[in-house]
Homo-oligomer: A and B are copies of this chain.
Amino acid sequence: MDFSSFGKKFTADTGIQSLMDDIGNAVDSGHDMIMMGGGNPANIPAIEAILHRRLQQLTVMPNTLRQLIGQYDPPQGNKDFIEDLAMLLRKCMGWPVKRHNIALTNGSQAGFFMLFNLFAGNFDDGTQRYIQLPMAPEYIGYADTGLRQDFFTAARPQIDELDDHLFKYRIAFDDFKVNKQTGAICVSRPTNPTGNVITDVEIEQLDALAQQHRVPLIIDGAYGVPFPGIIFTEATPFWNDNTIVCLSLSKFGLPGARTGIIIASEAIIRAVSSINAIINLASGSMGAMLVGELVQNGDIINLSQTIVRPYYEDLAQFAVQTFRSAMGENYPYSIHRPEGTMFLWFWFNNIPITSQVLYERLKQRGVVVVSGHHFFPGITTSWLHQHQCIRVNYAAQSRDRVKRGLDIIADEVKQAYIAG
């Protein structure tokens, strides 16, 4: 059976596909694997209780079943939810957004597929443009979304080594050049996989560059502000008419509801709605129905700040301390300063095995992580650093299991250094 060029590209052995396969196979294997690979968020009891109560309310209110499952939303998304969210963003963030500035998609990933291919790839005049990442590591899910090969460019970051085995990536603005081939700039904030939060100053510099070159700046806020707010540093929410902010309900606790949110200029929202109509007809209604009330009364922001953020911050500290104890002081290791998300990003400088080999060894010992080399879309030159990092989810398992997983990681890393 022959596949088209699109078919071949989108069925090649990709990072995201092998990640998802691994998760599936590990679960299927029947072994009690410690899953620190995927991006499944924590199940936070207080949030679950609120969503549960809301779902119960919906089942006793007249006509809500019909709204929940019995009708198509418009391609732009659930109207009430969009109105309420626009109001919330105006009131709490001071963003001048109206209902024509917001669209809903079947999850963030679907939004990025649409946005990236809208601004990059082949153009009718025969030219080609790129999605430009100010730095990599960046999100594994971006890497394969382009309708053509050769779709991303990325600059290497500046690496600031900090005390206590910590480091932080910063955008190396001297190496980051926006030019005529730039279709859009995109950065995740906080960054998946690193947990980095690019600073307000960095955001302002990116915004100035984007405006100067008349390309949009896409800020992937799947873990970001104003919700779910999984940011442990100060980070001012940022939006203007040249910025596209992408939010999600997944990390607030609803990954299965597949609700992505795009906040952008009216022209872009119109474009996204058109593409969504053709590709999906309509987006699902459930996420919007379940959190609609929390958006209406602003609780989604309060809950993000008082429950979601502290929950992950505690876990992050626990994970860092656990790993430190396990490694001791006799081996080199670095952890990206955990400023957000639910991942630790480890850098094992000069480790004599690749991160892929480390990943395989860990899987043999019942711990699934993600090899860091998947997270460098757009980096085309050889760079040893790409093969010295792993991403570890510290939130999808109980603390006991997280500790067990981190202990095993530390042990394998030590053995690798010793065998050196």
Main secondary structure of the interface of A (DSSP, over half): helix
| CA–CA, A283 and B255, complex, Å | 10
Known contacts: A1-B216, A271-B3. The answer to whether A282 contacts B253 by CB under 8 A is no
In the complex, per-residue mask of A38-79: 1 if CB is within 8 Å of any chain B CB, else 0: 111001000010011001101100000111111111111000
| CA–CA, A56 and B120, complex, Å | 45
Is B281 touching A284 in the complex (CB atoms < 8 A)? no
Taking the closest CB of chain B, its distance from the CB of A116, in whole angstroms, is 9
Binds B, one of A6-14, A197-205, A330-338, A367-375: A6-14
Kindly identify, within residues 236 to 268 of chain A, every residue whose CB is under 8 Å from any CB belonging to chain B: 253-258, 265, 267-268
In the complex, per-residue mask of A1-43: 1 if CB is within 8 Å of any chain B CB, else 0: 1111111101110101100100110000000000000111001
Return the 6 tightest CB-CB contacts between A and B, nearest first: A109-B281, A7-B118, A256-B285, A11-B274, A69-B256, A258-B284
Known contacts: A20-B74, A278-B10. The answer to whether A4 contacts B284 by CB under 8 A is no
Q: Which residue of B lies closest to A60 (CB)?
A: B56
With an 8 A cutoff between CB atoms, is A207 at the interface? no
With an 8 A cutoff between CB atoms, is A270 at the interface? yes
CB < 8 Å neighbour of A71 from B65, B256, B284? B256
In the complex, per-residue mask of A151-186: 1 if CB is within 8 Å of any chain B CB, else 0: 000000000000000000000000000000001000
Give the residues in chain B near A122, CB-CB below 8 Å: 4-6
Is B70 touching A254 in the complex (CB atoms < 8 A)? yes
Give the residues in chain B near A68, CB-CB below 8 Å: 55, 256
Taking the closest CB of chain B, its distance from the CB of A374, in whole angstroms, is 13
With an 8 A cutoff between CB atoms, is A129 at the interface? yes
Is B23 touching A74 in the complex (CB atoms < 8 A)? yes
Is A286 touching B129 in the complex (CB atoms < 8 A)? no
Taking the closest CB of chain B, its distance from the CB of A373, in whole angstroms, is 18
CB < 8 Å neighbour of A59 from B7, B56, B123, B141? B56
| CA–CA, A255 and B280, complex, Å | 12
Q: Which residue of B lies closest to A67 (CB)?
A: B256
Is B285 touching A69 in the complex (CB atoms < 8 A)? no
Give the residues in chain B near A67, CB-CB below 8 Å: 256
In the complex, per-residue mask of A112-129: 1 if CB is within 8 Å of any chain B CB, else 0: 010001111111100001
| CA–CA, A271 and B43, complex, Å | 31
Give the residues in chain B near A280, CB-CB below 8 Å: 106-107, 109-110, 113, 258
**Which interface residue of A4, A73, A141 has the most chain B CB atoms within 10 A?**
A4
